[in-house]
Structure 1
Amino acid sequence: MHSFTTERLLIRPFIPDDEELYCQLFTDEKIMRNSGGVIKLEQTKKNFANSLKAIEKKKKAVLNWAIIEKESLEPIGFQALSWLKPSHSPKPNKEDINQVEIGIMLLTKANGKQYPEEAMGALMEYAFNYQNIDRINAFYANKNLATKRFLKKLQFTFEDELQPTTTKNSYQYFDKPQWQQRLITKVFD
């Protein structure tokens, strides 16, 4: 697991000092309104401890990174890659491929600055280049319009026939061939 940077962000693996930010995000009603609701502080602390253990043991179940604003050196959120079990794979993945779910949470003070596109774009590059991922999946609440917008900017694929049977959630994906095509296009532009 590596640290990496973008123009405005440092993205690094969790360290014990990130517990406060992690708890702040998961216990904030406004932030969690589109993510299943607030998690109790005791459970949040337990989840954070498990995240640190996974990093220490180099487990590839869930990897978490803190997102640090370079200019202020303040943590503004975190993002994660969660490996999907074959039984939880979206419908188009009949073959056994290496795929993850991607997620991001930011403090409200980081909203409106296009940090999700920058941070997730960098994490996608890391996943395809260093984790040998074949597909990145994004699951989100339909009412989460901000997520829908930045997934569109990142050019995730939305297919009607792949949507969950409930009307409350949506699914989009981005696969390695799309990533390779995007890189080729950048070189020739």
Structure 2
Amino acid sequence: MHSFTTEHLLIRPLLAEDQTFFCQQYTNEKVMDNTGGALSQIDAEKQFQRSLKANERASSGGKKSVLTWAIVRLSTGIIIGSQTLSFLILPHNSDVMKQTELDGIVQAEVGILLSIESQGKGLGKEALAALVVYGFNSLSLDRINAYYVKSNLACARIFARLNFIHDSSSRLKNTEYCYLQTENYG
């Protein structure tokens, strides 16, 4: 797991000192509105610890489950969000993950959370674009999947601008699915 930069952002692995920000994000109703709802403080702290342990395991050569990065503004040094690549098979992605695994496709699911103050400024697209590059070039992924709530128009625009392919075959209620493969990338 590496850090990488964009024009405006440093994207680095999550650190212990990010706990306060992380928990504030995961307990914030507005931030979590499109992700299934806010967590309790205790659950947010548990999720943070799981994220740190998963990063440590992956960094030491162990199994990758979910990799989590902090998104930091270069101009201020302040953390403004987090993003993930998940290799887990979960109820919402099981059809895609299982079928593509059978086809030998190396894949992950991308996710992002930005602070309310950082939304609508193009930083989400910038961060996700950098993570896509990292996923394809450094992790040798063949495919990056994304799921988002149908009403989340900001996500729809970002994924469209990044050339993700919308797949209407998803049978998930109120959820959109899209993906980007190496041959469609760039």
Query: Is the CA contact (8 Å cut-off) linking 1:136 and 1:174 kept in structure 2?
Result: yes
SS at match of 1:101: strand
Which of the residues 42, 62, 67 maps onto 1:63?
A: 67
SS at match of 1:53: helix
Measure how far apart 1:66 and its partner are. Answer: 0.1
Deviations 1:24-76 (A, max 9, x none): 11111111111101111101101111111111222410000000000011100
What does residue range 10-159 of structure 1 map to in structure 2 within 5 Å?
10-58=10-58, 59-85=63-89, 88-90=94-96, 93=100, 94-159=102-167
Query: Is the CA contact (8 Å cut-off) linking 1:84 and 1:99 kept in structure 2?
Result: no
SS at match of 1:146: helix
SS at match of 1:103: strand
**Post-superposition, which runs of at least 4 consecutive aligned residues in structure 1 deviate over 3 A?**
84-87
Query: Is the CA contact (8 Å cut-off) linking 2:9 and 2:127 kept in structure 1?
Result: yes
Unaligned runs of 5+ in 2: none
1:177 aligns with 2:183: yes
Q: CA–CA distance in 2 between the matches of 1:134 and 1:12?
A: 22
Give the counterpart letter for 2:33 in structure 1.
Answer: R
How many residues get paired?
178
Query: TM-score, normalized by length of structure 2?
Result: 0.91
Q: CA–CA distance in 2 between the matches of 1:57 and 1:135?
A: 22
Measure how far apart 1:165 and its partner are. Answer: 4.1
State the structure with more CA Rg: 1
Identical residues among aligned pairs (%): 40
1:164 aligns with 2:168: no
Match of residue 3 from structure 1? 3
Query: TM-score, normalized by length of structure 1?
Result: 0.89
SS at match of 1:109: helix
Deviations 1:69-99 (A, max 9, x none): 0001110000000014498241863513111
Q: CA–CA distance in 1 between the matches of 2:44 and 2:172?
A: 29
Q: CA–CA distance in 1 between the matches of 2:67 and 2:172?
A: 28
- Higher helix proportion (structure 1 or 2): 1
Query: Is the CA contact (8 Å cut-off) linking 2:57 and 2:64 kept in structure 1?
Result: no
